[in-house]
A and B are shown apart, each in its own frame.
Chain A
Amino acid sequence: MANNYTGLCIAVTGINANDNPGPGVAVIRALREGLGDDIKIIGLCYEALEPGNYMKGLINKTYQIPYPTEGTNALIERISYIHDKEKITLIIPNFDAELHNFIKLAPQLKAIGISTYLPSLEQLGIRDKANLWEFGKSNSFNVPKDHKIFSVSDLQDATEALNFPIVIKGKFYEAYIAYTMEAALKAFHQLEATWGYPVIAQQYIKGTEINVAALADGKGNNLSVVPMRKLYISDKGKAWAGVTIEDAELMQLADNFAKATNWQGAYELEIMRDADENLFILEINPRFPAWIYLAAAAGQNQPAAMVKMILGEPVNTFASYETGKLFIRHSWDQVVDLTDFQQLSAFGEL
């Protein structure tokens, strides 16, 4: 049914809905639910095999875009090409690794009529894994101790200081819990080869894993905060099932973060609650999480709210959400015609 958003063209990245999913498909699902099915969704992918490329009920058209390492010139050139054809109103990037380029390009995108709602480069930097401990220390947040690892010698120093088990994390993604030096070395080499330096060695905190999805207005306020307790965790450490919970301390923590940073846009706090009820921030992701549709299903549709903010509509702070709402992720084999795969592989659009 036609509404104010009919024809609104939104480009979304992160449509690799695999076993370590990008948030794009969940964001799109929330957008369609919040804004109606007459919006036009452009999927921006990096690889022809990203499952979202072939989800025709969710994504109207897909374009391949250059990897972040190709730089801002390649990206703006490609986005301009897509914009000429599709008339994009706004872009929602969903990968940590691409945010630097999109933030740098935000003024250029705005100049050609494409809006974004992103944190600043400074905000992006302070929550970087390599800076997280210092950020926590200067803003009174509990953050596990860490070491930046550039060499095997650094890793040995880190294991002596932090003891085993130890968490070895990639610069952007992936983390492994290592119980021995051999396991730590393997994780270090794997992560530096995949994501580059520094690799982060973080103190292991035992406890309950909780994530918080939030949307902040850039003025120190959260418009939406939804906490989720992980119920089932995949071997990649990802929540495969989770449930919304209510906890005033978590809400306060998110409010303190928004206030300390004046964060603008979506973010996710990855939290561990230890046996003494202390809340440790393990990571701060500068984007919607892959489970963001749960927040929408529980009553706070953050992606739709973000779009409304971009469009200049008044968006009130969400007052409540439903607790005890579960998500249970699943795998689904899509069957795709070879011609579609060929089209995307050969021409970069489908």
Chain B
Amino acid sequence: MRIKKNIATSENGFIFNPATGDSFSGNGMASVILLAMKNGLAEAEIKQDILRKYDVNADQLNRDWEDWIVQLKEANLLEPELNNGK
């Protein structure tokens, strides 16, 4: 999955989609993951980094990741291949 190129993010977790005018407030974790995705890191790399830094097991992380991706899709922040062309 890839975040749309034009999505603007800030260190404090604010996200702006210039195509729709939608804005979102994420927490610190969201801003870290978004930045990693914007920098082109693969899902596996991001997950590895999280497992290394935080006290979370892989199953929990995978469930949370699925939920995260659903939220990104609903917010129209992903490139079309995972967003059904919308």
Contact = CB atoms under 8 A, between A and B. Distances in A.
B86 A245 contact: no
Contact of B18 (A210, A231, A246, A277): A246
B44 interface: no
B35 to A, nearest CB: 18
B20 interface: yes
B8 A245 contact: no
A247 B8 contact: no
B6 interface: yes
Interface string A236-251: 0000001111110000
A298 to B, nearest CB: 11
A247 B86 contact: no
B80 to A, nearest CB: 12
Contacts of A245: 18-21
B9 to A, nearest CB: 12
B86 A324 contact: no
Nearest to A231: B21
Nearest to B17: A245
Contacts of B21: 208, 210, 228-229, 231, 242-243, 245
Contacts of A242: 21
A252 interface: no
Contacts of A246: 6, 18-19
- Interface residue tally of chain B, by bracket? under 10
Contacts of B18: 244-246, 323-324
Interface in B1-43: 6, 8, 16, 18-21, 23
B75 to A, nearest CB: 13
Contacts of A231: 21
Contacts of A323: 6, 18
A206 to B, nearest CB: 16
A229 B20 CA distance: 7
Given A246-B6, A277-B86, A324 B20 contact: no
A247 B16 CA distance: 14
A242 B23 CA distance: 12
Contacts of B8: 324
Nearest to B8: A324
A229 B19 CA distance: 9
Contacts of B86: 277
Contacts of A208: 20-21
B65 to A, nearest CB: 27
Interface in B28-76: none
A325 to B, nearest CB: 10
Contacts of B16: 324
A110 B6 CA distance: 46
Contacts of B19: 245-247
Interface in A204-220: 208, 210
A229 B6 CA distance: 16
B59 to A, nearest CB: 35
A243 B8 CA distance: 14
Nearest to B21: A229
Interface of A: 208, 210, 228-229, 231, 242-247, 277, 323-324
Interface of B: 6, 8, 16, 18-21, 23, 86
Given A246-B19, A324-B8, 14 more contacts: A208-B21, A228-B21, A229-B20, A229-B21, A242-B21, A243-B21, A245-B18, A245-B20, A246-B6, A247-B20, A323-B6, A323-B18, A324-B16, A324-B18
16 contacts: A208-B20, A210-B21, A228-B21, A231-B21, A243-B21, A243-B23, A244-B18, A245-B18, A245-B21, A246-B6, A246-B19, A247-B20, A323-B6, A323-B18, A324-B8, A324-B18
10 pairs of A and B residues whose beta carbons are closest in the complex: A229-B21, A323-B18, A245-B21, A243-B21, A246-B18, A247-B19, A324-B16, A324-B18, A245-B18, A246-B19
